[in-house]
Chains A and B, each alone.
Chain A
């Protein structure tokens, strides 16, 4: 067991974990932040994407102990009270989800895409950048539309 601390969604937290505990388990099971999902547990689907020190990572493929001392942002950290983050709002407005299981990871990846590529991104770039996120429902069309709209909203 090891004691770890990190800053999650702006709040300092610490906890005791087994060395093998994954970051996603720490988030979901220790902290009950169940917005981050586990789709595959094999690094393929992206449902578990969170931001670690500002960049997207698959939280099923990083140990909690490896994230010790880091800044973590999860889907729960995006909205400002009842005011959704512009990317969340865009997914709502553009019907960018059906069952919603992939959505937290999609939104976290989408924000990372905008952070790296700016607010004016073409469809081909969004599709390439979303290679690590799998959706079983939508056929991606409205997700791509949402990401483009969210990117514009993030630009103000």
Chain B
């Protein structure tokens, strides 16, 4: 990896200032994506601004309606949180199945959604639950956060502060995982709200998206069979050595059916 200048900051304001002063800086959270990317020389920032010392970014709080998770909260902390397990068990389970224990001890929710890997788990939950991403500048609705492959609505000097998930609804996350990395070949996060169903799909396309056709079918009849007649756009599906586009389309339906059964 090319050398860079590292600095640790202790507040969001300092992080933003350091970023604005840097030539081509990057924030680092858990580093579980950033450092491998730099080793491959796919990124070579001039500066790495470490958010690990920013206390205000860590922690989980729960009120009547929402579970709010600080951007620097590790996957391990979310998985082990009894508050998250009680309020949105599917979210705790999702966090507990990211990568492996050592990755979960370092990797953070902010890093995961900022990175927006097409196969990452959290984005499916952010979309399906209709979460809100709070940054130092604004609140971004989950539906508008993920723009394209590794691309989000964030500006260069924008820091994710927290993600707020509504507690309402019954949720399930089903992942067909890559057995080596545990990334999602396809993952489906399904939430049954009182007034309808929301589905977040990851792994299948350039980035996580809402499964509108799946939602439509399930709002008609909340049964696994309702998924059979849904036609998914194969031309938009990812294809790689792990799974063809046709196979991914098939997996989206299978994972959705399993999620329906888990929520029924």
Contacts and interface: CB of A to CB of B under 8 A. Distances in A.
Interface residues of B, number: 27
Interface residues of A, number: 30
B1 A43 contact: no
A22 B3 CA distance: 11
B35 A61 contact: yes
Contact of A43 (B32, B48, B101): B32
A46 B39 CA distance: 17
Contacts of B48: 19, 63
Contacts of A129: 101
Interface string A11-55: 000000011101000000000000000000111101001001001
Interface string B1-41: 11111101000000000000000000010011001100100
A109 B102 contact: yes
B105 A56 contact: yes
B103 interface: yes
Contact of A20 (B4, B36, B101, B180): B4
B73 to A, nearest CB: 14
Interface string A90-123: 0000000000000000000100110010000000
Interface string A67-78: 010000000000
B106 interface: yes
> Interface residues of A: mostly helix, strand, loop or mixed?
mixed
B93 interface: no
A62 B106 contact: yes
Nearest to B28: A66
Given A63-B31, A66-B50, A66-B52, A58 B4 contact: no
A2 B7 CA distance: 10
A39 to B, nearest CB: 13
Contacts of A131: 99-101, 182
B180 A44 contact: yes
A62 B50 CA distance: 12
Nearest to A131: B100
B90 interface: no
Nearest to A48: B102
Given A19-B48, A41-B39, A46 B102 contact: yes
A65 B6 contact: yes
A129 B1 CA distance: 30
A57 B102 contact: yes
A113 B180 CA distance: 20
Q: Which of A43, A46, A49, A56 has the most CB of B within 10 A?
A: A43
Interface of A: 2, 18-20, 22, 41-44, 46, 49, 52, 55-58, 61-63, 65-66, 68, 109, 112-113, 116, 129, 131-133
| Top 8 closest pairs, chain A to chain B, by CB | A132-B100, A19-B6, A131-B100, A56-B102, A55-B105, A58-B102, A20-B3, A65-B6
28 contacts: A19-B3, A19-B5, A19-B6, A19-B48, A20-B2, A41-B39, A43-B35, A43-B36, A43-B103, A46-B100, A55-B76, A58-B102, A58-B103, A58-B106, A61-B35, A61-B36, A62-B106, A63-B6, A63-B31, A63-B35, A66-B6, A66-B31, A112-B101, A116-B101, A131-B99, A132-B101, A132-B102, A132-B103
